[in-house]
Structure 1
Amino acid sequence: MFRIRKILNPYLPVNEHEIKQVQAIIQSQFPDIAKEKVATIPDQLINPLKYQYKTMLFIADDLDGRVKGCALMLYMPDLSFCYLDFLAVSPGRTSSGVGGALYERVREEADSLDINGLFMECLPDDSDNCPDEEIRKQNAKRLAFYERYGARPITGTRYETPVKPEDTCAPFLVFDGLGSHDEIGAQKLKLIVRAILERKYGDYCPEDYIRMVVGSIIDDPVQLRPFQYKKKLQNGVFRTTLSERKKIFWVINDRHSIHHVRERGYVESPVRVETIRKSLEPTGWFSKGTPSSYPEKIIRDVHDAGYMNYFRKVCKNLPAGKSVYPYVFPIRNGAHPPKDLTVRAGYYCIDTFTPLNQNAYLAARHGVNCTLTAADELLSGRSLAYVLTRPPGHHAEHNVFGGFCYFNNSAIAAHYLSELGRVAILDIDYHHGNGQQQIFYESSNVLTISIHGHPSFAYPYFSGFVNEKGKHQGEGFNYNFPLDEEISAEKYRQTLMKTLEIIRKFSPVYLIVALGFDTAKDDPTGTWKLTASDFEQNGILIGQLKVPTLFMQEGGYNNRRLGTNARQFFKGVQKGFFGQ
């Protein structure tokens, strides 16, 4: 398994480690490149003015931090084009799919910038320019790879002229129109070629050489070499999925329905997910993703191993259709849990209405997979992601469950992302996000904020007070905004704007929103009266932060209004983030 990740900060310890691997891969695959050039990659990422282009680094790595491949792309906004500087995979991985995944990700990023095209250099595959047969075979493989995407060498120019007589195998300039630009004009190409030669090769290419190459561009429009490795396909076949990149990445827990408690009054039912799904699917705002599997270790970084082992074991041993509710709470002797697993439920629970059953663990565990899949999508450079899952998670603490929650998805995602930048969690469920607060109470890497009904009348009753501000290193990084039983939509928005200002000052790299729709009018678990219009306005405000955001589904139990409220909320988010 590998993931594609966009490096934003080259000086985070985890990124420094992986950039060293990137440099080793590039040096191995392109031995003629000077080490001094490769060493400048971190500086390129943070100094666009110095280099006259914005550098973007994408890596394919695994969860252990082993880099399997990388792509370095240069963006020159003044001329509206991108240049693929390097695409390389670790030795021995040429057929692993890593190269294709990286190039597709590069194309998506390039297309999202509304550019005229993506350019790159490829060494020649003809005997006139490359006399060595073995080298030609390798060059042919690379050109055939790019030709699959419609990218071909530009012909009729002197770009492949050696700078010095001793230079061999001077490269072709290859053009990828990303499926939307079939041709490019001579004047535009002249400006682009001059920019490439001056900004990238200014220390090697003299001015008279640059003028010679630029002056050789005569054909208008510029001609591309005919397809040599594949027959030309129908128009549009090389179109990227870039429009998908601007959508909200959507992961649905397709196993949530196995956790179905058919008991009177149990509101956390499968119909919640179906109601939201049916309302959002027709909008066209979402790009659906498929959940990947992730190791249990990531959950153990947040949740107690003893609790996890108990949860898995008790669910596995329960008969189908039977639910166990906590009814004994051994708070006076926590060091000696009861032997009977069903009695021990109260040892790990905070209430009497959250059941354990045969499928609770399986549904919650798959919800974590959905969460981490969406988190990885943010790491790849996606702006917005949404996990539609149940059971919810924000009441689960380090070693206890409750409030229908077993694994704290928001906390797991926050811890996972926090190794790559600061994370803020904004909980806008009607009930206090006690789980995130307890898990990160002593941390300064994760800011936790919750807007909720005052604990004097609202679950979980024991936390969510204003004076709970964090402890030790986490002091000042936990905020609670408990509100009255009856509030206006205007009062709620004023409070929301206060929280957003705190988030702006914290300046997170990623934002997680624990998203509850139980703040809505007539929700059976809340007392507030937010309408669909209110949800849209709140979505706009959150979107205007323009921070890559993961939305985690939490509460919301009025199924007559749930779908509409969800649709209007995400309509607002897109308006705020993209201005659409």
Structure 2
Amino acid sequence: MSQAKGQGRTRPSNTMRIFHSEAHRGHAGAMEMRYDKLIPMCESPDRMDTILEALRAQGHQDIVEASSFGLEPVLRVHTPSFVSFLENCWPLWEAEFGPGGFATAYMFGMRGMDQLPNASVHSMLSCYTFDVCVPIVAGTWSAIKSAVDTTLSAASFVKNGGEAAFALCRPPGHHASSDLAGGYCYVNNAAVAAQMLLDAGASRIAILDIDYHHGNGTQRIFYDRSDVLYASIHATPEREYPFLLGYARETGAAAGEGFNLNLPQPLGTTIAPYRAALQQAVERVKAHGPDVLVVSLGVDSYIRDPVGGFALESEDFLRLGADIKRIGLPTLFVMEGGYAIAELGLNTANVITGFCN
């Protein structure tokens, strides 16, 4: 029986446990700046709906509710003052401006300025965010916690012997560093999971980031460490967000020298050169010898993604999933970017189906 181009070609021969939480839905209704326009947030609750629908359509039925975890795993990666800011920003904002709207920074900390916030919520936003794409509304903190819970639930499944798991979570995380939020990201879900796995007994972890944008936050968190390899395939930072990090020359520092691999690609990259870069990353991952592979899964490399600039087609994501499976490691997928809503579900499900087949 024929199928439309880009559809998962067969039902998955192996199952993938998928973890999810509905507590993300309150993080909605804010606006973002896109160069010269104020637009509705691209990172919205309907992203999860379309992915879940596509996963079920391709035969992935092992979808379970995330368990609850405390903040201790988050505090192993993020500073206490930053986590406190995320939790208390909205109540402070609401006390000043009343209900409705959204909290965002008027300005950002700059060189030569005091980077320590005072009691004002505005100083906190200036110190703890680095762009205008991390608005905070009444439901943001609940969504942040749900993303962490979802990711740690999936990580626990893999830690306890599961071959693979998918943390279908939002908001994403790979732009968030230990004390900075930006790029739709508040807490770095993949980094929190990697640290939890290390604390549970893993000796080495590899994070493979295939989001269109460089995971500047993940790089910063692990840049001087050798127990976590960070490998990223992303758009060249001379032309694309986050602009200031993601260059090939960034290879790690101190004990982490050689454990950061950036493979920036030109705008318009198609599947053949992308897979060649992926093979370089795979070889480095294998050389690292990790106990678990964490995949920061972004599908904004799709040709019609509104915030992307690569030229991957829907069927290409099947190949990427299969390429990752051939690494042969226990694997944790953590959802990052992807904003072409009409194709987002298909593209994401194709990665998972390609891996399972």
Q: TM-score, normalised by structure 2?
A: 0.89
Q: Determine if the alignment matches structure 1 residue 414 to structure 2 residue 190.
A: no
Q: Deviations over 1:100-149 (max 9, x none)?
A: xxxxxxxxxxxxxxxxxxxxxxxxxxxxxxxxxxxxxxxxxxxxxxxxxx
Instruction: Give structure 1 regions of 4+ aligned residues with deviation exceeding 4 angstroms.
Output: none
Q: Does 1:381 align with 2:149?
A: no
Using CA pairs under 8 Å that are at least 6 residues apart, name the structure with larger relative contact order, 1 or 2: 2
Name which of 298, 314, 324 aligns with 1:516.
298
Aligned residues: 332
Determine if the alignment matches structure 1 residue 321 to structure 2 residue 100.
Answer: yes
Is structure 2 residue 266 aligned with structure 1 residue 484? yes
Q: What is the one-letter code of the residue matched to 1:341?
A: V
Letter in 1 for 2:162: R
Task: Name the residue aligned to 1:259.
Answer: 27
C-alpha separation in 2, matches of 1:425 and 1:562: 22
Counterparts of residues 351-430 of structure 1 (less than 5 Å): 351-419=131-199, 420-421=201-202, 422-430=204-212
TM-score w.r.t. the length of structure 1 is 0.56
Q: Name the CA shift for 1:337/1:470 in 2 (closer, same or farther; >3 Å).
A: same
User: Offset of 1:336 from its aligned partner?
Assistant: 3.6
Distance 1:328 1:473 in 2: 35
Q: Secondary structure at the match of 1:551?
A: strand
- Structure 2, unmatched stretches of 5+, are 1-11, 32-38
2:225 aligned to which of 443, 459, 466: 443
Change (3 A) 1:265 1:335: closer
Change (3 A) 1:485 1:339: same
Of 549, 565, 569, the match for 2:331? 549
SS in 2 for 1:333: coil
SS of residue paired to 2:83: helix
Contact kept, 8 Å, 1:330 with 1:337, in 2: the verdict is no
C-alpha distance in structure 2 between counterparts of 1:513 and 1:368, whole Å: 15
1:77-476 to structure 2, matched below 5 A, reads 246-263=14-31, 264-319=39-94, 320-331=99-110, 332-419=112-199, 420-421=201-202, 422-476=204-258
Give the secondary structure class of the aligned counterpart of 1:448.
strand
Tell me, in whole angstroms, the C-alpha distance in 1 between the residues paired with 2:150 and 2:220: 23
Distance 1:480 1:550 in 2: 20
Task: Give CA deviations for 1:311-369 in whole Å, capped at 9, x if unaligned.
Answer: 11112334343212212223323344243203420111111232122221110111101
Alpha-carbon distance change, 361 to 540 in structure 1, aligned in 2, over 3 angstroms:
same
**Structure whose CA Rg is larger:** 1
Query: Is the Cα–Cα contact under 8 Å of residues 516 and 554 in structure 1 kept in the other structure?
Result: yes
Q: Aligned partners of 1:321, 1:293: CA distance in 2, in Å? A: 28
1:74-116: CA deviation from partner (whole Å, max 9, x where unpaired): xxxxxxxxxxxxxxxxxxxxxxxxxxxxxxxxxxxxxxxxxxx
Is the Cα contact below 8 Å between 2:116 and 2:127 reproduced in 1?
Answer: no
Partner of 1:568: 350
SS in 2 for 1:385: strand
- State, as a whole percentage, how many aligned pairs show the same letter: 34
Amino acid at match of 2:313: T
Question: Residue 293 of structure 1: CA displacement?
Answer: 1.6
C-alpha change, 1:572 and 1:246, in structure 2 (3 Å) is closer
Task: Mark the CA change 1:315 to 1:498 in structure 2 (over 3 Å): closer, same or farther.
Answer: same
CA contact (8 A) 1:246 1:383 kept: no
The answer to whether the 8 Å contact 2:296/2:333 transfers is: yes
> 1:527-577 deviations in whole A, cap 9, x for unaligned?
1111121111111000111211110100000011111112221121012xx
Gaps of 5+ in 1: 1-243, 576-580
**RMSD of aligned residue pairs (Cα, Å):** 1.6
Letter in structure 2 aligned against 1:281: R
Give deviations 1:279-318, integer Å, cap 9, x for gaps. Answer: 1113333412221221211110000111111111112334
Report the Cα distance in structure 2 between the residues aligned to 1:352 and 1:474, rounded to whole angstroms: 31
